[in-house]
């Protein structure tokens, strides 16, 4: 949405063990590309290997940008900070990528004077997942969160 791009790729293992990796593809408007919405077309193109020559003058470019602030703006657009009552919130990032985002949301809310207290568990990203795989669907992965609540 924010950049108006034609598509995107997220490299993720989702809730799989740490030695897994995969990609989630999206098309314009962040609409998922799945088996029934274009993924089979991508597969056929890749398997055929019949790609036209690249026009070097029209080649795209790569740039790395941070969308964290825009993402936080988007998330906070769902709430009215002025209407918040005191809240104590527990977050378990599972040593995944969400930790720094949670920190940034906390800082933004505090700067806005929101009456919130963040309790953060396993908030530091660590790809070895020392506290277990970050899968909240598994009961054993919810124990630390349950205790904090």
Which listed residue (14, 34, 61, 66) is catalytic?
14
Classified as helix, coil or strand, 80 is: coil
Q: 51-59 contacts: CB < 8 A, separation 24 or more?
A: none
14 included as an active-site residue? yes
Contact 81, 111 (CB under 8 A): no
Q: DSSP states of 122-144 as a string?
A: S-S--TT-TT----TTSGGGSHH
Provide the annotated active-site residues. 14
């Amino acid at each position: 949405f924010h950049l108006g791009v034609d598509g995107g790729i997220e490299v993720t293992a989702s809730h799989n063990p740490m030695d897994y990796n995969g990609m989630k593809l999206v098309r314009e408007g962040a609409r998922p590309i799945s088996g029934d919405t274009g993924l089979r077309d991508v597969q056929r193109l890749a398997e055929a290997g019949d790609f036209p020559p690249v026009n070097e003058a029209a080649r795209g470019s790569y740039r790395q940008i941070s969308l964290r602030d825009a993402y936080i703006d988007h998330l906070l657009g769902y709430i009215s900070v002025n209407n918040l009552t005191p809240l104590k919130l527990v977050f378990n990032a599972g040593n995944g990528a969400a930790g720094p985002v949670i920190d940034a949301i906390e800082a933004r809310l505090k700067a806005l004077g929101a009456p919130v207290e963040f309790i953060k568990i396993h908030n530091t990203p660590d790809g070895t997942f020392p506290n277990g795989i970050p899968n909240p669907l598994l009961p054993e992965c919810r124990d630390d969160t349950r205790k904090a609540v």
